[in-house]
A and B are shown apart, each in its own frame.
Chain A
Amino acid sequence: AQRVTQPEKLLSVFKGAPVELKCNYSYSGSPELFWYVQYSRQRLQLLLRHISRESIKGFTADLNKGETSFHLKKPFAQEEDSAMYYCALTVGGTSYGKLTFGQGTILTVHP
C-alpha cells in the first residue's frame, strides 16, 4: 500500500528566508505527486502537481524517484505563505485514483 510521510509537523521561518517542506513516499510503481495547501479558514486547494512541472506562487517541487521524495521549496518565503501544507499521491490517474495524504506541515512565516 502507498504511504506519504511529512516528517515535520511544524516549520517556522522568517520572511525572505528559503523554505523547504519535506515529503517522502512509498510506492513501488509510478505515482502522481501533489502538494495541497489550506490557508486559514479556507478549503483545501491544489498548489501544484509534479507532472505539470510548473511553479505556483514561487513554489516548486521536484520528484526524486531514487529517494522517493517530493519536497516543496520556495527561495524567499512570504507571510502569506503561512498555511497547512499536505503532500499527497495518487495511483491510477487524478480522477480514478484515491489521494493518499501525509499528515501535513504547518508553515509559519514570521515578519
Chain B
Amino acid sequence: DVVMTQTPLSLSVTPGQPASISCKSSQSLVHTDGKTYFFWYLQKPGQSPHLLISEVSNRFSGVPDRFSGSGSGTDFTLKISRVEAEDVGVYYCMHSIQLPRTFGQGTRLEIK
C-alpha cells in the first residue's frame, strides 16, 4: 500500500498569514498515462470532506485562489497564501494511483 505522510499534523496561523502543508507518498503517484493521481481535501468541523485540489494543482470549482497545490512524484505541498477564519478544519491528502486509495493522517489548522 502507498503510505501518505503529512506534516505538520497541526498548524496555528494568524489570519492573513500564509500556511503550508506537506504530503509525501511512499511511491510515485505518476501514472503511465502521465497524470498524477493526487488530491487535497478540507474537512471543516461537522462537515464532510470537500475537494480543494485534484491532480496536484487543479483547484476545484469554487475554491478560492488563495489555495494552491504544487509538487511532483512523491512530494506535494498545499499552500494558503493568506489564511482566513473559514479555513479552519482538517486537511487531508489522498492518492488514487492504485488500490487501496489511502489518505494522509490529516493536518489540523486552527486560527490564532
Are these two chains actual partners, yes or no?
Answer: no
